[in-house]
Structure 1
Amino acid sequence: MTKRMEHDLIGDREISEKVYYGVQTLRAKENFNITGITLSQFPAFITSLVKVKKSCALANYELGLLEENKKNAICEACDEIMDGALHEEFVVDMIQGGAGTSINMNANEVIANRGLEILGHKKGEYAFLHPNNDVNKSQSTNDSYPTAFRIALYEKIYELVDAMTILKNSLGKKSKEFKDIIKMGRTQLQDAVPMTLGQEFHSFSTMIEEDIQRLLEAQQLVREMNLGATAIGTGINSHPEYAHLVEEKLQDVTGRPFKTAKDLVEATQDTGAYVQISGVLKRIATKISKICNDLRLLSSGPRAGLNEINLPAMQPGSSIMPGKVNPVIPEVVNQVAFQVIGADVTITLASEGGQLQLNVFEPVIAFNLFNSINMMKNAFETLANKCIDGITANKEHCKNLVVNSIGLVTALNPHIGYENSTSVAKEALDSGQSVYDIVLKRGLLTKEELEDIIKPENMIKPRLIK
């Protein structure tokens, strides 16, 4: 295998001529065998990195700091990578020391070596196009890495919103399908008052709709970036007009309204936006887990549980109990929620752990935010397509639970009084008779009056008492 020789601060290393990354990436690959999950598995982050590099090259060229042939080579290489080329060359572990330097250099080296080929040179001939001097010109890892992270996070949030919208719509369709199915509502797992199954599913849909809005609000925080800050926010080694110009170029390249922070020193060390987004993800995870708990309860049984709804049967549920089918889709979504809630703790600690002018722990923040969003996106689409869309209702069973429930007495309370209602409820509990039969037996209401009160449409919304 043909080798090329590269060198850095530490010394010389042989590198395969086949690869586009260079010596600093090689060292990072050797040093950080941590998760086994590399940058290549996060294409949105790769794309964002090269968008930053292209924007910087355009700004540097316009300021007279980068020759036209180098600018063209960098931009062409970036365009190819944005189209999906060379993603396998991004080999650095997502969690690494150095505040993201290894990932930044991975991008610099791949772009430089592909740019060299475009210029007619061999990989490693950095005299003609250098990873640091040219591709990384006017930049530091400390502004290019977080800017790329924010661009990717901005786009990934849209993906999650799309998945949440699919789930919201699925729940909304079920709320319409079940709008006339009367059932017993419950508080503290005890019979409460009647409602419809449609109202229950509509509440689930509303939960998701509200969280979509919270997520879009949090997304706006990552529009602010620190590109132009270079090392700590002072802009050292950059042109006075660079920060403003690179903002314009980044907007052009991304098509998104990213803006330069007013205080670049603050922006370089502040990770508050990540904490806010992670908190919203935790909120979403908590609520979707609650919905899945409800789905598992409502479908429990089928003979010895609530059995008000039927979840689609996805697979056999036991290696020992024939005929058993488990609620596997809500169960897996529960587990995703637990993972996201745990990741929020990691992100919080990593953000708190920053010191002075830089937070070196952004790699673990990025790893966890991207993982959480990816898992939630997949989980929501799975829940909608493999569970919610196929749910059916046991209409008669739901109705019988209402008719035979002690909770029915709450609907009678305004008509027969609290004392009578309490007495009826106690007798029903002691004797096993229905509330309906006891009220008629005692002559507290006529059959017509009772039938009117317990009509489903009269029990599920406010009503004037005659």
Structure 2
Amino acid sequence: MEQQRIEVDALGERRLPVDALYGIHSLRGHDNFPYSGETLAQYPAFVKWLAQTKMVIAQVNAQHGKLNAAQCEAVVMACVELAEGHHTAALIVDPLEGSCGTSINMNINEVLTNRALQLMGHQPGEYAFLHPLDHVNYAQSTSDVLLTAAKLALLEELDLLSAAVGHLAASLREKAREFEGILRIGRTCLQDALPMRLSQAVSGYASLAQRMTAALDAHVPALSTTALGATAVGTGLGTYRGYRQTVTSALADLVGRPLTPAEDLFDSAQNMDEFAALSSTVKTTMLALAKVANDLVLLSSGPQDGIGEVRLAARQAGSSMMPGKVNPVHAMGLTQSAYFVAGADQSVMLAAAHGQLETNNYMPLIAVSLFKAFGTARRSIAMFDEHCVRPMIAEREVNERNLLTSTAIAPALKEALGYERTAALVTKAVESGGPLIEIVETEGVMSREHLLGLLHRSSQHPDTLPS
């Protein structure tokens, strides 16, 4: 029979495996909230920064005599181990727990405490030597620690997502250079409109991705502001003079980037607008890039009976029924991911709006939604870049044939022939059912070479033409 230990809290006692690194508060959280089917172990970046934040706090507390040297050394080692991915089996709390994050914080506190007790030569649960609340959680509250750890984890995620979008922008810019000089139809309302170059369309996509990178990077200052020292509501009860500044400075040294204490600790505890704004930008980025992906789906449609102006790399069979069919899976996958991120943003928005009074009860939902959104966005963008954009091929002949057989050449003809004469030529082409270019050639209006030169010139902005 498994050996057990008994732990006691204000609600009574619970039995745990004798060597369990979690404690009674974690066990109650585990039993109370079997919501998402996940545990904290599925969010390693969050766990890492919870552990490293508590490590820095332990070191500062030891410097101020709140922990003795042996306690500090053991807690620091336990934090390092947890941050490196050890002891994940003891992270038993569902991150969507309904206790404002308290169960998350207690799970981390108890795992760190019990592992530190082992390192000190004691057994898990021997809290007389090191206590999860009186020692490991000293000068902290769930509110300020979870907010800080979430921001630090999201800073890392933001760097990765911004880099992925930046790489996509570079790939699109390279494709724009590769496609320079290829004439195509510019379409509006899905109808033939004006002559332009394929490179111009792709350049627009590249500029969009660059703007999205800048929009993401603009959130770094807000994420670099920490709530440490606020404790539960902003009064700092349970901390001591100089704690807030010292712990923020020490954490900044560990992070390797500037961190700033929140100017108003009550604001930092009450309001989640910074997370809502960040979530909105991630959503906007994904939906903007989904528009690019959907354009590529349209432009690659066919191969025989669609537009077919670009060819995307074949990645897998496209049908269990239709042999040889290949689908634009990474373009469609990015779009699907964008819709997922939009759903996560809705959760963040609602959670941020419905916090009550001095804290936000729904911080766990905000954190989980953002972690899922960032991970999904980053991975889908990277795959779209690698497997869709970079190997994309322009079908030059198809682009030019589609343009020359359409009425989209009429606006360029109008500049040379005038509106009335061009309209008459278009009418003849429509009545005959033949391409407009054949009417232009057979009636001796101009040669194909002359028309191509006219189209190339008309596809350039007047400001870029030689004077």
The answer, yes or no, to whether TM exceeds 0.5 is: yes
TM-score for both structures, normalised by structure 2: 0.95
Give the aligned residue type for 2:42.
Q
Equivalent positions of 1:6-85 (< 5 A) are 6-85=7-86
* Counterpart Cα distance in 1 of 2:413 and 2:232: 72
Q: Which amino acid aligns with 2:460?
A: I
Judging changes above 3 Å, is the alpha-carbon distance between structure 1 residues 199 and 88 closer, same or farther for their aligned structure 2 residues?
A: farther
CA RMSD of aligned residues (A): 1.8
Q: Counterparts of 1:448 and 1:367 in 2: how far apart (Å)? A: 60
1:367-378 matches, cutoff 5 A: 367-378=368-379
C-alpha distance in 2 between matches for 1:393 and 1:285: 24
The answer (yes or no) to whether the contact 2:102–2:142 under 8 Å persists in 1 is: yes
Hey, what does 2:459 align to over in structure 1?
A: 459
**In structure 1, the residue corresponding to 2:72 is in which secondary structure?**
helix
Q: Could you tell me whether the CA contact under 8 Å between 1:292 and 1:330 is conserved in 2?
A: yes
Alignment of 1:400-419 (within 5 A): 400-419=401-420
Q: Aligned partners of 2:447 and 2:301: how far apart in 1?
A: 37
Question: 2:159 corresponds to which residue?
Answer: 158
Distance 1:390 1:465 in 2: 34
User: Deviation string for 1:20-67 (max 9, x for gaps)?
Assistant: 111111111111111112110111100110111012112212222221
**Alignment partner of 2:244: what SS?**
helix
Stretch of structure 1 that moved more, 246-255 or 136-145: 246-255
Partner of 2:104: 103
1:231 partner letter: A
Q: How do 1:230-249 residues align onto structure 2 when only pairs under 5 Å count?
A: 230-249=231-250
> Structure 2: which 5+ runs fail to align?
none
Q: Deviations over 1:117-163 (max 9, x none)?
A: 11111111111111000000011111111111111111111111122
**Please, which moves more after superposition, 438-447 or 87-96?**
438-447
Change in CA separation of 1:20 and 1:195 when aligned onto 2, cut-off 3 Å: same
The question of whether the paired residues in 2 share the 8 Å contact of 1:406 and 1:429 is answered with: no
Quote the offset at 1:395 in angstroms.
Answer: 1.4
Q: 1:432, CA displacement in angstroms? A: 2.4
TM-score between both structures, scaled by the size of structure 1: 0.95
Is 54-63 or 104-113 further displaced after alignment?
Answer: 54-63
In structure 1, the partner of 2:324 is 323
Post-superposition offset of 1:443: 5.0
Kindly report which structure 2 residues correspond to 1:127-142, keeping only aligned pairs within 5 A, or say none.
127-142=128-143
Q: CA deviation at 1:378?
A: 0.9
Q: What is the deviation of 1:249?
A: 1.7
2: distance between equivalents of 1:83 and 1:143? 23
- Residue identity over aligned pairs, in percent, reads 37
Q: Secondary structure at the match of 2:219?
A: helix
On the 8 A contact 2:22/2:114 being kept in 1, the answer is yes
**Pairing 1:427–2:435 present:** no
Residue in 2 that maps onto 1:186: 187
- Partner Cα separation in structure 2 for residue 340 and residue 151 of structure 1: 20
- Contact 1:20/1:114 (8 A) holds in 2: yes
State how many pairs are aligned: 465
CA deviation map 1:364-422 (0-9, x unaligned)? 11111000000011101111122222222221111111111101111122211122222
Answer yes or no: is the 8 Å Cα contact 1:219–1:277 preserved in 2. Answer: no
Name the aligned partner's letter for residue 176 of structure 2.
Answer: S
Q: Secondary structure at the match of 1:390?
A: coil
Residues 33, 410 of structure 1: alpha-carbon distance in 2 compared, 3 angstrom cutoff? same
Once the two structures are superposed, what CA deviation does each residue of 1:428-464 show, in whole Å capped at 9, x if it has no partner? 222223333333455555777545313x355334276
Q: Which amino acid aligns with 2:387?
A: K
| Residue pairs, 1:83-98, within 5 angstroms | 83-98=84-99
8 Å CA contact 2:195–2:458 kept in 1: the answer is no
